[in-house]
Chain A
Amino acid sequence: MREEKRISLKHYGLIDPDQIEDYLEHGGYQSLQKALSQPPAAIVQAVKDAGLRGRGGAGFKAGIKWGFTLQTPAEQKYIICNADEGEPGTFKDRLIMEGDPHLVLEGMAIAGYAVGASKGYIYCRGEYPYIVKRLKRAIEQAREKGLLGTNRFESNFSFDVEVRMGAGAYICGEETALIESLEGKRGEPRSKPPFPGVAGLWGKPTVVNNVETLAAVPWIIEHGATAYQQIGASRYPGTKIFTLTGDVARKGFCEVPTDVTLRELVYDFGGGVAGGKKLQAVQVGGTSGAFLPESLLDTPADLDSMAAVGGTLGSGAVLVVDETRDLVDLAVTIASFFKHESCGKCTPCREGTFQLHRLLEKISRGQGSRQDLETLERLMWIMTQASFCGLGHTAPTPILTMLQYFPDPFNNRVNSQAG
């Protein structure tokens, strides 16, 4: 059986998250010390060499992002920690911040030093008020120890962090929408380019990284890029936290090398399907993720292997769906989510998510026609091609993959239409 390897969760459950002394006794802030003894470009290079890719879902190379910001001259630059995890079924960032808030602060400080930023923001979702409190306490403690704030380590580098609370908008997980929200506006995504690395928060060069990404940075500095690069899948190295939800025997989480297979996740870590029932589908990557059948369970969960079978890694949320569940009903629930969360900026997404929900609900009630299914397919194609940002691009993914791998429930519902 596959074993866990904890990098982002290395202190989870082992230290008192409200005591900075505990973190320091476990080697905390040593990686920052080590980083400060090297030139900033060397730190960016180490993150590049490690092959660290974003853990929020898009999988962009962190070192490349950092490189953009390092190379852009500016008096003020920012690090933003994206803690707006809104993908249903995902709670990995909460686990990290809950169990080890200083690890996130240390990762941010190292990023700040590497790119020349003196200020960091943690944008934490509004659903986690208790985490906001914990983070604020951790920042206070780090300031008292002289680890955050000015004149740290008798070096010229200073870095401070502020926590901002989101207000219940899934779209703010998109980095430019998040920046808009941090600026106190509606969270609507911006046109790219310019990318945040060049012009982000208040127009300044800004690195936006997910909590889990930043939490891997201290380990990389401590153990070296090569050690990290050798873990898991070669093109998406390191570990990933997966959250197991739905009809799985043991709901919960695990942090494992990225070459773990879906079968290992569901059966070894999750204990299989709850109540001795049969597996119908797994949805990997959160509510915007693909529904996959049993026959694809031996696929490694890393981003590229998943993409190769038409799947997604996304946030690493794994929703197990047993044989008794009505997939059409689940499709309506998912479509309702996207209808609610579309920010309304662009027509393909605003109207597309609305119509997607309307058509699926109609089909679910047994009032849909074959024509409705065809309209649905065309609508989803338009959404994936013409939406402004990732929300509209990925909202059809769960429905498209349901229709691809599990067409029967939909066809049956349409065929049962009277008259």
Chain B
Amino acid sequence: MDKLQAIVDQYQKVPGGLIEAFHAVQDEYAYIPEEALRRLAKAFEVPLARAYGIASFYSYLSLKPRGQYIIRICKSAPCHVKGAAEVVKTLEEELAIRMGETTPDQLFTLEFTECVGVCAETPVITINGEPYGDLTSAKVKEILAQYRQPQ
């Protein structure tokens, strides 16, 4: 894991940089592998239990492998009243997985999220942080098709 060493080197000296390092690990691996957690705990001189406690505290961080595209569906009140449940249904049907799961080809992961701050275009999802709003079932299918094409 040379990439991991580069991340350790880059953030080790940053005061309070452990969470930034977690972000960098996730950008690389889509989640925080155990090896990364161990190496970062050591580099930041915190017990492994505490590093785990930090990584598991934040909903943006995952200790479970995830797909290449992480689709997060907002379930906060403004999206809820504007039909978030319909978006969930379409995504689950289209990808043939349930919320929290990853497609067998490792392409998509479905997660719930709370508000992503795009509330004038409810309901909203984000795919790897990129927001898509004013969703309908048809629009969700179109967006998925774009991501399914080999890039």
Which one, A184, A245, A321, A341, contacts B17 given CB within 8 A? A184
A321 to B80, CA, bound (A): 11
A185 to B57, CA, bound (A): 9
Shortest CB–CB separation between residue A82 and chain B, in angstroms? 14
> Across the interface, do A251 and B81 meet the contact criterion of CB distance under 8 Å?
no
Shortest CB–CB separation between residue A124 and chain B, in angstroms? 11
A245 to B118, CA, bound (A): 10
Q: Is B96 in contact with chain A by the CB < 8 A criterion?
A: no
- The segment out of B19-27, B100-108, B142-150 that lies at the interface is B19-27
Shortest CB–CB separation between residue A108 and chain B, in angstroms? 18
Shortest CB–CB separation between residue A388 and chain B, in angstroms? 16
A246 to B77, CA, bound (A): 8
Q: How many residues of A contact B (CB 8 A)?
A: 51
Chain B residues near A94 (CB, 8 Å)? 117
A129 to B116, CA, bound (A): 11
A181 to B77, CA, bound (A): 26
Q: Which residue of B lies closest to A320 (CB)?
A: B81
> Across the interface, do A90 and B81 meet the contact criterion of CB distance under 8 Å?
no
> Across the interface, do B119 and A91 meet the contact criterion of CB distance under 8 Å?
yes
> Across the interface, do B78 and A183 meet the contact criterion of CB distance under 8 Å?
no
A111 to B92, CA, bound (A): 48
Q: Which of A77-133 contact B (CB under 8 A)?
A: 85-91, 94, 125-130
> Across the interface, do A184 and B77 meet the contact criterion of CB distance under 8 Å?
no
Q: Is A167 in contact with chain B by the CB < 8 A criterion?
A: yes
Chain A residues near B16 (CB, 8 Å)? 164, 182-185, 202
A90 to B74, CA, bound (A): 13
Chain B residues near A243 (CB, 8 Å)? 119-120
Chain B residues near A251 (CB, 8 Å)? 119-122
Q: Which residue of B lies closest to A87 (CB)?
A: B115
> Across the interface, do B117 and A90 meet the contact criterion of CB distance under 8 Å?
yes
> Across the interface, do B120 and A253 meet the contact criterion of CB distance under 8 Å?
yes
Q: Is B129 in contact with chain A by the CB < 8 A criterion?
A: yes
- Bits for A368-386, please: 1 = Cβ < 8 Å to B, else 0: 0000000000000000000
A247 to B61, CA, bound (A): 32
A337 to B113, CA, bound (A): 10
Q: How many residues of B contact A (CB 8 A)?
A: 36
> Across the interface, do B60 and A126 meet the contact criterion of CB distance under 8 Å?
yes
> Across the interface, do A333 and B53 meet the contact criterion of CB distance under 8 Å?
no
A165 to B22, CA, bound (A): 11
Given A167-B23, A183-B16, A330-B77, A88 contacting B119 (CB threshold 8 A)? yes
Given A127-B116, A167-B19, A334 contacting B61 (CB threshold 8 A)? no
A87 to B76, CA, bound (A): 9
Given A184-B54, A253-B120, A330 contacting B80 (CB threshold 8 A)? yes
Shortest CB–CB separation between residue A362 and chain B, in angstroms? 19
A128 to B130, CA, bound (A): 9
Q: Is A187 in contact with chain B by the CB < 8 A criterion?
A: yes
A330 to B53, CA, bound (A): 31
- Bits for B46-70, please: 1 = Cβ < 8 Å to A, else 0: 0000000110011111000000000
> Across the interface, do A333 and B115 meet the contact criterion of CB distance under 8 Å?
no
Chain B residues near A317 (CB, 8 Å)? 78, 119
Q: Is A283 in contact with chain B by the CB < 8 A criterion?
A: yes
Q: Is A34 in contact with chain B by the CB < 8 A criterion?
A: no
> Across the interface, do B81 and A88 meet the contact criterion of CB distance under 8 Å?
no
Given A283-B77, A330-B77, A128 contacting B23 (CB threshold 8 A)? no
Q: Is A186 in contact with chain B by the CB < 8 A criterion?
A: yes
- Bits for A175-202, please: 1 = Cβ < 8 Å to B, else 0: 0000001111111000000000000001
Q: List 15 A-B contacts (CB under 8 A).
A: A85-B117, A86-B114, A86-B115, A89-B76, A89-B119, A90-B117, A91-B119, A128-B117, A164-B16, A168-B113, A246-B78, A319-B78, A319-B81, A334-B77, A336-B75
Q: Which residues of B contact A (CB under 8 A)?
A: 15-20, 22-23, 44, 53-54, 57-61, 75-78, 80-82, 113-122, 126, 129-130
Q: Which residues of A contact B (CB under 8 A)?
A: 85-91, 94, 125-130, 164-170, 181-187, 202, 243-247, 251-253, 283, 287, 317, 319, 321, 325, 330, 333-334, 336-337, 340-341, 343
